[in-house]
Chains A and B, each alone.
Chain A
Amino acid sequence: MARRFRPWQKKRGDRRTGSHLLGSVGEAFFFAALFVTGAVSLAQVILARVLQSQTGPVPSGWALWLVLLVLVSLIVIGAGGVIYAALHVGASAERRAALARKATDLQLLQPASPSSKDFPTVPRDTNLTNSPGITLAYRLPIARSPALELLGVALFGLLWNGVVCALAVVALNAHLAGQPDWSLTALLLVFSLVGMAAIGYFFRLLMVATGIGPTSVEISDHPLYPGGQYKVFLTQSGRLAMRSLELWLACDEEATYRQGTDMRNETRRVFLERIFQQTDFEIGPGRPFEHLCELEFPRGAMHSFQSGHNTVAWKLIVRGEAARWPPYERTFPVIVYPDPPTWTSA
């Protein structure tokens, strides 16, 4: 049964029956309300203090500072809460529970990860191997989390609309005092439109991030070697009518060139191979799509490389097309070492 619109929740052991989406949205609204209350009230107090107007009792001395402290606290708590909610929208509760349950079942990596001294210019894979998988050895981190974009838009929206609120207070007071400032009012209208667009865009991103759900990719071993055989476990959560879900292996060259005032970054995809594809299927809440597939890394391929201005970067790309959602693409970087038979130690 659909849980999305149930406004209450019940605790069932470790589970909760409420809607995670509704909870996240409600949490965000609550903190946003705190922020707006703090911002508007602060603007009112400052305005009253500056103009020495009689719109209400104007605190002074220690009372003023106490009021300011409270209002600033509301702003900080409200902003922090919205950002926190945005950051954790994509997090998987199952993932956190599985980590806690399986922490003692980890298999140690064999052999130990090679050192950077043995492989100059090959990036270290520390950040890619510090997250154990549920099914396979490692869970790969995503290159660009949707949460970061959410955070950026949230920050911009909060700041912008905070300014709009302050201006609104000033303009409203002017109108109420019978001395309307029409230029300020006109400016406020423009600013409000931008503010509303920012809010709308934030909620669109939020809906996409929560509706599509997190994607996770686990791999049986890391780093990778040319000619190596690996297992890849793909998980896609959400409530989606998938038209297509694909997993690709890609390699990009990146070069940065700086000349005078011009800086030029170029990326070129030099390898692309589809590993897996499935079409026309459903993903439901609590029933994520899971698939285990084989990956044979191409023999003779170039290893990962990173220098000051040039990079060879390998990655696994998950591409999905779902009904009523825009196509999405999530990238998981991997590190490829040179052929193992010809290693030496530094």
Chain B
Amino acid sequence: MTSHGDHTAALLRRCSGGDEAAYGQLFELIYADLHRRARRLGKGGGATLSTTALVHEAFLSLAGSPLALNDKAHFFRLAARAMRRVLIDASRRRSARKRGDGEGHVTLDTSLAVPGQDLDVIALDQALDRLAAAEPRMAQVVELHFYAGLEFVAIAEMLALSERTVARDWRAARALLHDSLAGAGQAAHD
């Protein structure tokens, strides 16, 4: 437990010193942890669907010990990136699978509509990159809130902003991204 935490803390410090290798190592560590947790969640831990924050669980397990605010923020930014990656990788694998399958399956019973199921994670990723180019702070709020599952108040603390500003950034980004996704979806159908 402590060795985990110490190891993570050391990696985080090396990251802030600009150590690329440490960054890569920590990213892989978080990625593997999130992947495992998400898989377990998908395997039928449905009762916890609304209550978990996987990134937070990962934080508790990998870092655990108290960290400096700066390191903590760094961890969650990395974790949000890792979650983005988990989603994209899974989505790409699925597309590959579908192509291999040849035929799509007919769904007879739509009662199992999982919230957000129709989200195109790859299009979202690209739209978020474009948004980051113009509004880096807004994009960061999206990463921490949507991907890392942090509350506005925690994000405000990490980014040294007011909670109100974070909430407004989120609202605007939410509208922009959905609008962009809807447009992309339409374009794809045309």
Are A and B subunits of one complex? no
Interface residues of A (CB under 8 A from B): none
